[in-house]
Amino acid sequence: MQRYFVTRPAEDGKYEILEDDFHHIVRVMRMKTGDQIICVNPNGASALCEIAEITSEKAVANVVKWIEESSELPVRMTIASGLPKGDKLEWIIQKGTELGAFGFVPFIAARSVVKWDEKKSVKKLERWQKIAKEAAEQSHRSSIPEVHAPLTFKALLKIAPDFQYKLIAYEEEARKGEASALADIFGQAKQNESILCVFGPEGGLTEGEVDSLKEAGFVSCALGPRILRTETAPLYTLSAASYHFELMR
């Protein structure tokens, strides 16, 4: 069933659906009055709704019943990715949202080939956030991950204290045969606690960056014995988190 994130709470048991979502209902899905959808309000509450009215500008949906279960990952995992080339970040945002990421923080790493263009920043951020919204709707999330504007490496270090657990995916740990740090952190983390996971761009993080992250309280970990691409590593970590916090429990 199609899911839509509405911008305002229900008034008198009704939701108004506007702009892009209204266009999607009318032009893409060709829905009519009586059709059912799921509406998610800004607080993350989901409701089964029935379309009661369609005008030239909006669709009005009545709440039929509230949906109690949540599809959110029990821990709040934020993915910090060194800016990669091409559309890899869009892939990370889309698939990471489907896998339950809480947020995305791109950052400018020493080995990032791509340079952040301030002139195009607004359009880029709008596109990334739209990708997250559409992926959240498709995967029946109860919230849309926030996508931040790219940070400098120093700015990334400054936000580290906001998180309860901090991880670095570092390929040198895989070469050493290290396999316990990720499992140890997952074993300690409790429901609704926050985890920040840092991934390097193509070419990885420099030793200096890793040292700075460790000084800021990050734990270096391997993601299995194989070396993963920059767009694969975040998805591996989110999948591992889903297995540990959802399937194992």
CATH code where residue 165 lies:
3.40.1280.10
Query: For the chain, how many structural domains are there in total?
Result: 2
Domain that holds residue 30: 3-67
Domain boundary among 67, 85, 104: 67
Per-residue confidence (pLDDT) for residue 176, from 0 to 100? 63
Same domain, 87 and 123: yes
Same domain, 97 and 189: yes
Residue 28 confidence (pLDDT) above 60? yes
| Strand locations in 59-102 (E) | 59-67, 76-82
Per-residue confidence (pLDDT) for residue 35, from 0 to 100? 94
Residue 174 confidence (pLDDT) above 60? no
Q: Which two tokens stand for residue 187?
A: 């074993």
Same domain, 62 and 81: no
Q: Name beta bridge partners: 22.
A: none
pLDDT in tens, 29-48: 999 999 999 999 988 889 99
* pLDDT confidence tier of residue 122, bands split at 50, 70 and 90: confident
Compute the distance between CA of residue 58 and CA of residue 21 in angstroms, rounded to an integer.
9
Same domain, 157 and 222: yes
* Listed residue (5, 8, 16, 142) closest to 68, CA to CA: 142
* pLDDT confidence tier of residue 97, bands split at 50, 70 and 90: very high
Strand, coil or helix: 169: strand
pTM of the model: 0.90
| Strand locations in 179-226 (E) | 194-199, 219-221
Residue 10 confidence (pLDDT) above 90? no
* pLDDT confidence tier of residue 225, bands split at 50, 70 and 90: confident
- Most confident residue range from 9-23, 161-175, 232-246: 232-246
